Structure 1
Amino acid sequence: MASLTLHRVFVYGTLKRGEPNHHVMTNTENGTAKFVGEGKTTESWPLVIASKYNIPFLLHCKGKGQRVLGEVHEIDDKMKAFLDDFEGHPNFYERDRINIEFLTERTGLESGESVEDIEDLDDF
């Protein structure tokens, strides 16, 4: 039976549409995910793209860096658990709540609403 709980998550790197790991968001074996809209963090964060794989992550230094562009998706509990494992939460990355300004038309969401950052803040 599918989960009835939906979580709004902000993705800003390889999980976005057109990026190399987006396929995990569309694989229904992992759960369900629905694109809601494009957004930008309301506060600045240092975005680092590192490693030989060009992996993006945010440093846990709110107020430094720049506002980050990304996407908001609604996901079920199964997809949330899958993404936590896929992203290495909480050992490699730390999922957190952040405020997003929506940049595209969407349904039922207000700019500045808090959503979970699934591609996570790194504690460097």
Structure 2
Amino acid sequence: MNIETALKEAMSINGALGAALVDYESGMCLGTAGGGRDLDLEMAAAGNAEVVRHEMRMMATLGMDDAIEDILITLHRQYHLIRVFSRNGAYLFLYLALDRERANLALARHSLRRIEQDLSI
């Protein structure tokens, strides 16, 4: 599936507020869906790229021979999921912001994993 379809599918996840595909080396969005006045996806993408890069550096410092699958940030009213992967030499993540009252976190993680696996870059 292409980027636009992937982001539309991410937005169909119950409780979705916004979704983005991000190059975590540069912090640049390759595409966004949703968001709005209360959720600046471009800013969130750049900030979360810093989170991913920091975690990668920390794993290297600790000598961990493993890979990040996803990162969860839990707020009082929202979940922020970051699904990290690489494709065709690009280092990417899918970012999904969810309304905590409407979202099922386990189903959202499963859906985001499926979307990432079906995504063609």
Relative to the length of structure 2, the TM-score reads 0.30
Relative to total residues, which structure has the larger strand share, 1 or 2? 1
Relative to the length of structure 1, the TM-score reads 0.29
